[in-house]
Chains A and B, each alone.
Chain A
């Protein structure tokens, strides 16, 4: 009989589930895709229900439900910290007590009731252990060093692990605890630069490329690197350890000047814009220095040539690249769902391999299209009800029409197969456009994604042609398949590929292999046959502030609410009837 394990993350950042059958991931999804609330942290009721239905099992058939962290340990950290920060944590203490005493402390019972899993089947991993497991267990390495860096879990903010050949596959080595945290440092700087925390970190990374790290002296005083890989933050400049709603103090302002006004336009050609860009560049450079510093120590402690990475900081593609180029490891592998959603997957796999002590099966590529899917018949029914103009195409016609759309300047939604698990769209829920010329970029930014003009778009390229256009570091062969690292656009193509080339010549490439993503690969090839360039601009299929589209209705709604030209739902090409648009349809 098969063993079923449901991994679950919830109540802090992104709620998600991952369902594992005899060590194989059969379904995984984030709750936000179902509820349409971005970063939904509620118990993942809908995602779990779907995953079980997808596998054709009932909750009673689950052997274990593994929660991704230990609630009591976290509560303990909050208590201890409140005492240590007496009396200035007087505002955050009552708030935290309210949510904890009111609910989070009793979450085991609630999970057990909500998901109908008896208490004896309920297990608890640890936050960073879940991250570490999500990084190492699906990786191609038989053994490796593992590094997990995020804001904070229970108390740990950074940890080094050893990935072993046999159980325990994931073995703790050393850790740094709260309040010293590189993730929280980057988030605090995100707030300083006027962006929303847990959302705007990508914007800081994008902005950084426009600046020079002019503030390194100040940064190095804020994040002091010590011997043995350690780092110490200037806790007087930050206040996440005692303030309920702010991240930095007057001291940071006295060091770096006034914070950027939220929502103010950013123009790097003005002195003011340059100032913000320089702060962003310094923040990014500081993070990279610290990550390198920690990684060198990790290599000292775990003398293996390969490194696995997870935790929110693992989503910083630029830092990952610098780590590959300058760091002490030969190969890197980064869990694509490096944030807390990935903890659900890590927890489930850890249970299978380290609690139930099953060996790993190597040479299986990790795939992250683990979410919902629709058959053509199912989507046909929905599209028919919506009466959206559509054509049904054969597989070949679909490629041809998509290339027609793209080469005539169209921007299309590409809704195919299972949804991606993790924050990056990898050709299943993607918005695609011709990368040649910068005009497309402005159009996609201004009229489809409604986002800031300074943020770069990423390219997808066939594996065969990747080297022609991009300079990719050999240590990043894995990460570039999942958009968690960057490459450099070769100078001779920068002008032509302006839409996906960032100001510093970099690009967050997705390298697409035919055996991994056959459909997306053939689209790239078809586009290449027509244009000589098998490269597409690829961005996640969602409108501003929304989670990625997950269902055909979401996809068509996005089509009607934006300037997209067409959406390909399976083999249907759907377009907008101008009648609906503008809201004057009254039948």
Chain B
């Protein structure tokens, strides 16, 4: 799997980086990712019962915060940052999330051991990905240099998480560690698949909703008149306040 991924990365990365505006887009998205992991690491520092690990998580968070800023700054060199929100009104707002699902951080959802396994794996993948960029000389000198600096931190992240996992193994939790690593290993493709199916779902629903809109909604247009602008008096509600409050409409 590792080799496969590396080959895949080597094939795809040059194409991806050669697209116009790729530098800015990639660097900005790295910045977002780093920012997300900083949040996850801070949450872990907050919540861990292992007081000896708190400082490591904390320093890790600081590293990622710095990386996020470096990436963002470099992205800025390739063009102005695009404004994320341009819509004054977003009724279809999809709720944002990185590691946080239903208000729960990664750490809360995985627990200490699995969280460490997750950190270890994602850091290793990042090191690999950045390594491919460097080896294939996809980056300009300045970006490459910045990435080399960042990589030094990433190696530390890979290292300390490995040390901690080994410590768990030595303390007789080897089976747990293996299980956590397996879980983390398979979660990635599984989540990618889930995201993919959700996307497919979106495309299908979008299609039918558009059809619905264009075919079914059309006749109603005739009867629909916009309310005249301006103040209108609010008519009294015949229901009692409590009854009204129980209703959603």
Contacts and interface: CB of A to CB of B under 8 A. Distances in A.
A271 B29 CA distance: 34
B176 interface: no
Given A173-B233, A175-B231, A243 B87 contact: yes
Interface string B222-246: 0011110111111000000110011
B16 interface: no
Interface in B73-127: 76, 80-98, 100, 102-105
A409 interface: no
B59 interface: yes
B175 to A, nearest CB: 29
Given A231-B229, A232-B229, A82 B213 contact: yes
B63 to A, nearest CB: 5
Interface string A151-188: 11000001110000000100011111100100011011
Interface residues of B, number: 73
B217 interface: yes
22 contacts: A41-B96, A42-B100, A71-B248, A74-B91, A82-B217, A86-B213, A94-B206, A94-B209, A95-B206, A100-B91, A122-B246, A185-B88, A191-B87, A196-B83, A197-B85, A197-B87, A262-B81, A263-B80, A355-B242, A386-B55, A583-B63, A583-B156
A86 B65 CA distance: 46
Given A73-B248, A199-B85, A355-B241, A585 B59 contact: yes
Contacts of A517: none
B126 to A, nearest CB: 15
A96 B206 CA distance: 10
Contacts of A41: 93, 95-96
A59 to B, nearest CB: 14
A524 B69 CA distance: 34
A44 B81 contact: no
Contacts of A173: 233-234
A246 B87 contact: yes
Contact of B87 (A86, A89, A247, A261): A247
Given A160-B231, A172-B234, A264-B80, A247 B88 contact: yes
A90 B213 contact: yes
A204 interface: no
A565 B133 CA distance: 38
A86 B218 contact: yes
A11 interface: yes
Contacts of A123: 245-246
B123 to A, nearest CB: 14
A175 B232 contact: yes
Contact of A177 (B80, B214, B217, B227): B227
Given A84-B226, A90-B210, A233-B229, 5 more contacts: A42-B103, A87-B218, A98-B206, A176-B230, A551-B46
B51 interface: yes
Interface stretch (A31-39, A205-213, A316-324): A31-39
Nearest to B149: A583
A263 B83 contact: yes
Contacts of B63: 583
A366 interface: no
B87 A70 contact: no
Interface stretch (A18-26, A432-440, A478-486, A553-561): A553-561
Given A35-B103, A386-B54, A86 B217 contact: yes
Given A45-B104, A72-B248, A196-B85, A78 B231 contact: no
